[in-house]
Structure 1
């Protein structure tokens, strides 16, 4: 959708988003204003602590007035992203992502590391940004690496980062610093393709294309989709350094069909569903009720560090002795393992059914399974994502939001199921006159 917008304009957009993110991070260190909206005397405010009566492990949780930074980020900003991805597509997000800009800053200000290569024919020395070898362990296991980082981040969210403002600020600044360092060490979109945990979410919710994704294999534009580019006086020019093979920023469908049979890809799709179930399910397992999550109190809970070593489960009216610091990762690990087993089992049943009634196309079989897994993950996410604020809206507004989410995801699923590698190859053939 944004593939034809000049890079200079998109740099401004990414810069504004990065500044907005940094402003939010700074507010986590100092915010003397927003807490006034949450005080008990502000009963007209939907965020007033007077509206909270939350029971956690059989005891009413004491809630103090709080600054809104963590609640805004976790219950408004983050829930918007999956819907943006599934509607506007992979290319749109890659062109507006503020973390992508952070990884590009070393190159933009001339501080990027370069390797020197001697041209065999001319003997000239050419400077090029280094890239990670495609035969390296990291390149061969990038899906598992990024999922592992996402898993660690989700566990950290449950334990500390959801609630502790300084911990969240430090974690956010650490991620931005990691993107900057990666941009210094390697060229292209190495951060996005090899390290960024959000890359898992981007690909699952967009491949083989978002609803408004462009189709470069139809028209073969000079600068397709979110291909690396740089602005010049004559217009944008390509700046691809070949950091990955079959780059999704150049042709997302081609990249998808080239790896659709990779067991890593399938395992991550299936485990991602479990990660969502485990993440939201843990709030119930910890508190003993859903009120703890839907109240949003977990974004500003008092004494979060002390609770790491207190009981992490409350089931059947009893607190279990396992500390929260162990219970949270255990819950997510079990959920991921279970969903992996479920996904593999359903995949086998579907393959058997297709072989008897339709065809034996393995790529298409796996593609259908991955699309349904992505659709299921998306809708499970929105059963909970953003709900602490959505439930504060009038009923009509809640209905419209819920319907819009289901309709958007179903349109995406229908379009995804219509895609197949044969169709892609046919559409990629050069058109002849006549």
Structure 2
């Protein structure tokens, strides 16, 4: 179901600009202290304890819950394609004014976040620290202070702009934005209505992957592999890859339910009303909250006097640690129960299921206290939203409960095998009983190769080598684990371990770097080369030529090629490989040039 990933890019661009315009309008109204909204959500009345400006309530009570509702009920693909801050972070790229650094041979390239850099290793801790700091700031000031919220939103937009200038790709979204880990936690393996990127699609541009529209109207990749694996390319692959070993993510995931609960309980503790006060967003009009920073949060004969400025951060961090401790206890309990059935896989399955439960609890706690309608539709309106969230999140947990990393790898292998079968054996109709190969499940694809005639043994070896090469290039497979992970495929093809090592040797002769690079390095190379190749093919299409060498005499074309190399951060070896693939008579170049350009509308179809 490719609903949101195939949504026409030009329409997404319009929505992004409209949302950015709304963001700017909100900032101006907050800083200027004026209300220009066509609707009235202020039900605080004429109390002297209330101010009359609606911007805080609209942002915290409608915009933020509405965005989370999109993530929970629909898909991360939708929000990450229209987020206005993501657009702000790309403005310097659009203008061609990003920061560049010197490379080999004096060639300058757009700066990127290196995986081994401090930011590359610690970004989750940074993002989650900013998230907790933001919660503290909300409770202390910007929940109801209009000037404070306006300055916060302005500072956030400027920060996104600066990060987008400093680093290529979606560095703001991936490495700095405090909502990045929240989106990861809510999405899990895949959003409920999210599209799978590893099966059921032949598109190169998947999910919320960075894309652009060429001059000919063709949607093409704009990915520079700023982070691999990437939630925008394949959320499930990113999920399984970060299940263990992703610094800070497990703590963030476990702490999220506790932070959400503590945040709303603190508001309720200080509120003048009960649950309705929270759901209606009346706290967004509190005129006195900024005056109480040094006042105690609670008072009593046995309670020490601790100012809110200290008590609120301490309580939030304490709630986070308690939540993490409960998550670890639940994970260990599940691991002990699962060990007899799952053996060595028990720990991974326990982590996976505990994370699903943490996400389920967090989103349902949030929408228990928050009502995106602000009560304007009456009690029934809020209850409908809570019921929808409960049902959708429950179905999401059920769908993911029995999935494992091995399930995902098997499906990825079957998708690659399906493509190799179509290339090497054009006529598969005698074996499909009237069905197309795209209709086969992963298990049926493996069964299909078992019934192929023994006479095509050489084709079976080619199938195996092709599948392994595709998985290695995409980074889904490591050479060290390939023998074990492809065992089922070898059994289906009636091949042995010697055939595996022979395929490895052949691949090494064809592309030495495929075995020298790590899986992450191979994926980065593949993503950048694919995106650069599409841009180069666009040049050939516009010139109606089939040989890149014919274009090199034009200085303007040479400048465009230099820009492509710089934009997609290709090193010398990767660039030379790409240029060589466009030699005279190249099948890739000539076939693509002669094929009619695909318009944006056709892509969406």
For Structure 1 versus Structure 2, the TM-score category normalised by the shorter chain is 0.7 to 0.9
CA distance in 2, matches of 1:78, 1:199: 14
1:11 to 2:13 alignment: yes
Output one character per residue of 1:258-314: Cα deviation in whole Å (capped at 9) or x when no partner.
111136222111111111111111123335863653553321111333211112224
Is 1:370 the equivalent of 2:351?
no
Count of residue pairs the alignment pairs up: 411
Question: Larger % of strand: which?
Answer: 1
Structure 2 residue matching 1:281: 3-state secondary structure: helix
Matches within 5 A, 1:187-266: 187-218=168-199, 219-234=201-216, 235-262=218-245, 264-266=248-250
Structure with more helix by fraction: 2
Q: Are the equivalent residues in 1 in contact too, given 2:331–2:351 (CA < 8 A)?
A: yes
After superposition, where does 1:166-177 map in structure 2 within 5 Å? Answer: 166-177=147-158
Equivalent runs, 1:408-427 vs 2, <5 Å:
408-427=392-411
**5+ residue gaps in structure 2?**
423-427, 429-605
* Change over 3 Å in CA distance of 1:252–1:36 after alignment to 2: closer
| Residue matched to 2:377 | 393
CA shift digits 1:47-87 (9 cap, x unpaired): 1516x8xxxxxxxxx43351111111111111112221123
After TM superposition, list the pairs within 5 Å mapping 1:249-328 onto structure 2. Answer: 249-262=232-245, 264-287=248-271, 290=274, 293-294=278-279, 296-314=281-299, 321-328=305-312
SS in 1 for 2:90: helix
Runs of 4+ aligned residues of structure 1 deviating over 6 Å after TM superposition are 34-38
CA distance in 2, matches of 1:83, 1:33: 26
**CA 1:193–1:339 in 2, change beyond 3 Å: closer, same or farther?**
same
SS across alignment from 1:237: strand
For the pair 1:331 / 2:329, whether they are aligned, the reply is no
The root-mean-square deviation of aligned C-alpha atoms, in Å, is 2.5
Shift of 1:363: 2.2
- CA separation in 1, counterparts of 2:35 and 2:61? 19
Which residue of 390, 397, 412 corresponds with 1:406?
390
Give the equivalent residue in structure 2 for 1:159.
140
Distance 2:76 2:37 in 1: 36
Partner of 1:41 in structure 2? none
CA contact (8 A) 1:70 1:299 kept: yes
Deviations 1:13-53 (A, max 9, x none): 11111111111111112354469987xxxxxx771516x8x
1:29 aligns with 2:50: no
Does the CA-based 8 Å contact 2:364-2:386 persist in structure 1?
no
CA distance in 1, matches of 2:98, 2:71: 30
Structure 1 Cα separation of the partners of residues 283 and 373 of structure 2: 10
Aligned position for 1:57 = none
Name which structure has the greater RCO, CA cutoff 8 Å, separation 6+.
1
* Contact persistence 1:129–1:241 (CA under 8 A): no
Provide the TM-score with structure 2 as the length reference. 0.64
Q: What is the rounded CA distance, in whole Å, between the counterparts of 2:285 and 2:363 in structure 1?
A: 26
| Contact 2:51–2:287 (8 Å) recurs in 1 | no
How has the CA–CA distance of structure 1 residues 156 and 33 changed in structure 2, closer, same or farther, with 3 Å as cutoff? closer
Which has the higher Rg, Structure 1 or Structure 2? 2
Residues 109-120 of structure 1 aligned to structure 2 (within 5 Å): 109-118=95-104
Q: Match for 1:47 among 43, 47, 52?
A: 43
1:94 is the counterpart of 2:117: no
Tell me the CA shift for residue 319 of structure 1.
8.0
